[in-house]
């Protein structure tokens, strides 16, 4: 597990909880994320949990990004891909659904991404160090 912040290139902000958006300033405690990486038969999977609320970032059945207190049915698992200097997070359950945020900082719909490739830049993130000690969440 590692504590990081995700900077979204499209919205020019950090991913945050309460409310779920990518408008957090760089010093916001709501923007600290815990990355849990696990090895499964299908390969490496990553879960993203908000340090502040202890909730996971997940897709609902209709493609909406939501926060959930518990992990179930793989809906909170992503495949982390490095594309150049950036990271993208593809939903592990359905091909093509990507974690992303609009220019205004609102979550994009996973299903919508498949049909609107102009959102491609909105699915790119930088992983930045947080000032949270890993001892605080172990």
Q: What is the mean pLDDT of the chain?
A: 84
Q: How deeply is 120 buried, as exposed, middle or buried, from its count of CB atoms within 10 A (0-12, 13-18, 19+)? A: middle
Bridge partners (DSSP) of residue 87 are 82, 125
Residue 66, C-beta contacts closer than 8 angstroms, at least 6 positions apart: 20, 57, 58, 59, 60
Structural domains of the chain, with CATH: 2-130 (2.80.10.50)
Mean pLDDT to the nearest integer, 91-110: 88
pTM for the complete prediction? 0.86
Cα within 13 Å of Cα(27), Cβ side: 0
pLDDT at 54: 93
């Amino acid at each position: 597990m590692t504590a990081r912040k995700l900077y979204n290139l499209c919205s020019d902000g950090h991913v945050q909880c309460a409310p779920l958006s990518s408008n957090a300033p760089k010093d916001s405690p709501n923007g600290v994320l815990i990355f849990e990486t696990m090895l499964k038969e299908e390969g490496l999977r990553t879960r993203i949990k908000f340090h502040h609320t202890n909730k996971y970032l997940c897709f609902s059945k209709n493609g909406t990004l939501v926060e959930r207190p518990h992990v179930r049915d793989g809906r909170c698992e992503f495949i982390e891909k490095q594309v150049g200097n950036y990271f993208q997070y593809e939903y592990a359950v359905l091909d093509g659904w990507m974690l992303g945020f609009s220019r205004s900082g609102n979550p994009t719909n996973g299903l919508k991404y498949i049909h609107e490739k102009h959102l491609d830049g909105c699915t790119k993130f930088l992983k930045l160090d947080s000032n949270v000690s890993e001892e605080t969440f172990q």
